[in-house]
Amino acid sequence: MEKSSFTVTTSSEAPNVELEVGGYIAYDTAGQFEKAINDSLESCPETVTVNMENVVVFTSVGIKIILKAFKNAKAKGTGFQIENPSEVVKNVLKLSDLTELLLK
Amino acid sequence: MVTLNIIANINNTGEVMDIVDSELDRNDFPVDLRPEILIAVEEAFVNIASYAYKPEEDGYVELSVDVDEKAVIRFTDWGEPFNPLEGNAPDLNVPIMEREIGGLGIHFIKNLMDEANYEYSGGNNILTITKNMTKKDREI
ipTM of the complex: 0.92
Phi-psi region of A97 (alpha: psi -120 to 50; beta: other; left: phi over 0): left
Dist. CA B45–CA B63, nearest whole Å = 9
Torsion, Cα A50 A6 A90 A68, to 10 degrees, reads -60
Candidate from A93-102, B55-64, B91-100 with smallest mean pLDDT: B91-100
What's the pTM?
0.92
Task: Give B94's contacts in chain A (Cβ within 8 Å).
Answer: none
> Which of B67, B82, B87 is CA-nearest to residue B129?
B67
Q: How many cross-chain Cβ pairs, A to B, lie less than 8 Å apart?
A: 72
The range of the structural domain enclosing residue B123 comes to 2-139
What is the predicted pLDDT for the residue at B135?
58
**Banded pLDDT at A101 (limits 50, 70, 90):** confident
Give the containing element (helix H, strand E) for B7: strand B2-7
| CATH class (in words) of the domain with range A6-102 | alpha beta
Searching chain A, which residue's CA lies closest to the CA of residue B104? Answer: A60
Q: Tell whether B31 lies on the interface with A, counting CB pairs under 8 A.
A: no
Sign of the CA dihedral with B59 first, then B66, B26, and A60 last: negative
Number of structural domains found in chain B:
1
Hey, how many other C-beta atoms are within 10 angstroms of the C-beta on B102?
A: 11
Percent of chain B with pLDDT over 90: 77
